[in-house]
Amino acid sequence: MHFETERGEGHIKALRDSINGLQEAKMKLSGDKGELKTPKERRQELGEIKVQLDTFNSLKASQKFFGKRDRLFKGGWRHGVFGVEDADQPKDNSVFYKGLHEAKETLDRNKSLINNRRA
């Protein structure tokens, strides 16, 4: 499953909720405003903050995992899954990397056009 499809609307909503929870937890920790609370209330409040932070950290870890896995998929099999395809071969030999070669050639042509115009 690709990075973009795994991160559907539900994942983004959960991430936004956890970020809001993190901001609320920061406000609770920093902003007492001189209110008197019993030790029991403090413990309950710290427990709620801990749950919010755990939720945020788990979503952050899953997001890092998705990104790392996606980067590995993109860069790990440069020469094809079985090592048969070579990304550096001319475009006539490669079926899978034909679009990549065409994009690279277009970019090189545009660069040379700009460089020749400057000279």
Domain boundaries along the sequence of the chain: 1-76, 79-119
**Cβ(25)–Cβ(52) under 8 Å?**
yes
Give the residue among 71, 76, 97 at the shortest CA–CA distance from 85. Answer: 97
pLDDT band at 71 (very low <50, low <70, confident <90, very high): confident
Q: For residue 83, which phi and psi values (nearest 5 degrees)?
A: 80, 10
Listed in sequence order, the residues at least 6 apart from 101 whose beta carbon sits closer than 8 Å to its beta carbon are 90, 91, 94
pLDDT at residue 53 greater than cutoff 80 = yes
Task: Give dist(CA 29, CA 26) in Å, integer.
Answer: 5
Q: Pick the residue with more confidence: 20 or 76?
A: 20
pTM recorded for the entire structure: 0.51
Listed in sequence order, the residues at least 6 apart from 18 whose beta carbon sits closer than 8 Å to its beta carbon are 52, 55, 56, 59, 60
pLDDT band at 93 (very low <50, low <70, confident <90, very high): low
**Cβ(85)–Cβ(97) under 8 Å?**
yes
Q: Average pLDDT over the chain, rounded to whole? A: 77
Q: Pick the residue with more confidence: 111 or 9?
A: 111
pLDDT band at 84 (very low <50, low <70, confident <90, very high): low
